[in-house]
A and B are shown apart, each in its own frame.
Chain A
C-alpha cells in the first residue's frame, strides 16, 4: 500500500479531542468498583498536567444502566442526559468528558438520535423545562476520559517515573487491552481508531513502554451486559464470555490487562476468582491471576503514585507480582489501611486463586 494512502485512510479513524476545558461527569459504579480511578483522573489531569476539568455535585446518573436494562424508555434517558448538558451549560463549558463507557455511549446515542430526529430533541427540551426549569446547549465535543489520557499520553510519558518494562530483564511487559463495547462499537467514528482498530488503550500502553498482545478473542465482549449480571441465574452467561477471553489470551502469557469501561475490569478481575473456584484454573503465573487495571490506575502507576493510594488493594487479583516486575516499591503493611490509616480490614483468601 502507498504510505500516503495509508495515512489518509488512518486519518478517517482519528477523533478530534480538545486539550483543555472539560466538564467531567462521573460513573455510577466506578467509585465502588475502583475507588481511586476517578480521583486520580482528576489528580493527573488537573494537578499534574494543569488542565481545566470541572465537575459539579449536582450531577446524577446518566440513566444508562436503567436504559440498557429496559427499566426506563429512551425518552426518559435522553431527558436525564439533557439535564447533564444543562449543568454543563450553566458551568460555562462546551466539552463533555464522561468517566463511564456506557455514559459515553448514552451521550453519543442521544446526540445522534437528536440529529436524526430533531422533534425528539424538542420534546426533551420541553420535558426538561417542565420538570426542572433548565435549558441547555449541546456539547461541541463529547469524549471518554480514556480519550483524554490517550491525548496526554506523551506528556504522561515525559513525567513517568516507571515504564511498562520488566525492570529485572528489560523486556516490555505483555499487555492485553480490552475496550468497552459502548466506546466505539455503537458509533465507530466517535472512538479513536473506530470499531476496527480502536487504539485508545494500545496507544497509551505502547507510549509507556508496554507491548500489546493480539489474541483471537481480543474484541470479544467481557460479558458484563447489564441484563446478564442483574439476574443471578444469567451470570453463567456473563462469566462464560470472560472465560472465553481468558482461554484465548492464556497462551500469550499476559502480564496485565487494561480496560476503559466500568464493568470490564470488574468482571475480568472478579470472575478470575469465581472461575478458579469452579474449575480450579488460574491464568497468571505461579497460581496468581492476571492483574486488571483501569487506564487511570495504569497512568498513576507510571507516574509513581503509591499503589495503595490508587486503590489497587480493592482488586481481587493480587497486583504485587506486577508491581515487582515494574520495580515499584510498596509497603505490604499499608495495603489495607485506608484514608488517615484507618484499618479497612483484610478480606478472606480464596481457596484456589493465590493472593498476597
Chain B
C-alpha cells in the first residue's frame, strides 16, 4: 500500500559486527591514527572539503564504523596538498595517513614497513 511516505533506512551502526580490518591495517602503518581527537581542524582547513565533502575526521570515523563506501568517496577527492598535516594539533601526518589508506583501498599492496613516506 502506498502511503506517500516510507521508512527511512536506519543509520544505526552495530559496532559488534563492524569489519575493522581496514582500520587496524591503517593503525599498523600509521599508529598516530589512534591519537586523533576528532577536533576537525583538518576538515576546517581542507581545500577540497567544501566542494567535495572530504574530511579526514570523517574518514577516520567512517573507518571505525565500517563505512568503506563513504570513506572511498572522500579519499578520491583528496588532492594530497598536506594542509591538514600542518594544522593537526596532535601532529598526525594526515597526508601520509590518507596516502596509506588509498594504497590499502587500491588492492592492499602496502605491507608493514612500506607505509611511511
* Interface residues in chain A, defined as those with a beta carbon under 8 Å from any beta carbon in chain B: 232-237, 239-240, 243-244, 274-275, 277-279, 351
Nearest CB to that of B6 among chain A residues? A236
Main secondary structure of the interface of B (DSSP, over half): loop
Is B7 in contact with A236, judged by CB distance below 8 angstroms? yes
Is B7 in contact with A278, judged by CB distance below 8 angstroms? yes
In the complex, whether B12 has a CB less than 8 A from a CB of chain A is: yes
Is A239 in contact with B7, judged by CB distance below 8 angstroms? yes
- B75-94 contacts to A, CB under 8 A, are none
Count how many chain B residues have C-beta atoms less than 8 Å from C-beta atoms of the other chain.
9
Q: Which 9 A-B pairs have the closest CB atoms?
A: A236-B5, A240-B8, A235-B5, A277-B1, A236-B6, A232-B4, A240-B7, A236-B8, A243-B7
* Residues of B with C-beta under 8 A to A279: 7
Is A234 in contact with B5, judged by CB distance below 8 angstroms? yes
Is A239 in contact with B5, judged by CB distance below 8 angstroms? yes
Complex CA–CA separation, A240 to B4 (angstroms): 14
Complex CA–CA separation, A233 to B4 (angstroms): 7
In the complex, whether B109 has a CB less than 8 A from a CB of chain A is: no
Is B12 in contact with A244, judged by CB distance below 8 angstroms? yes
In the complex, whether B10 has a CB less than 8 A from a CB of chain A is: yes
* Residues of A with C-beta under 8 A to B7: 236, 239-240, 243, 275, 278-279
* Residues of B with C-beta under 8 A to A235: 3-5
* Residues of A with C-beta under 8 A to B3: 235, 274, 277-278
* Residues of B with C-beta under 8 A to A275: 7
Is A240 in contact with B1, judged by CB distance below 8 angstroms? no
State how many angstroms separate the Cβ of B115 from the closest Cβ of chain A.
39
State how many angstroms separate the Cβ of B4 from the closest Cβ of chain A.
5
Can you identify 11 A-B contacts, CB atoms within 8 angstroms? Answer: A232-B4, A234-B5, A236-B5, A236-B6, A236-B8, A237-B8, A240-B8, A244-B12, A278-B1, A279-B7, A351-B1
Complex CA–CA separation, A243 to B8 (angstroms): 10
Nearest CB to that of A228 among chain B residues? B5
Nearest CB to that of B1 among chain A residues? A277
Complex CA–CA separation, A351 to B6 (angstroms): 17
State how many angstroms separate the Cβ of B25 from the closest Cβ of chain A.
31
State how many angstroms separate the Cβ of A350 from the closest Cβ of chain B.
9
What does the 1/0 interface line of B1-27 toward A look like (CB < 8 Å)? 101111110101000000000000000
Complex CA–CA separation, A67 to B87 (angstroms): 44
* Residues of B with C-beta under 8 A to A240: 7-8, 10
- B34-76 contacts to A, CB under 8 A, are none
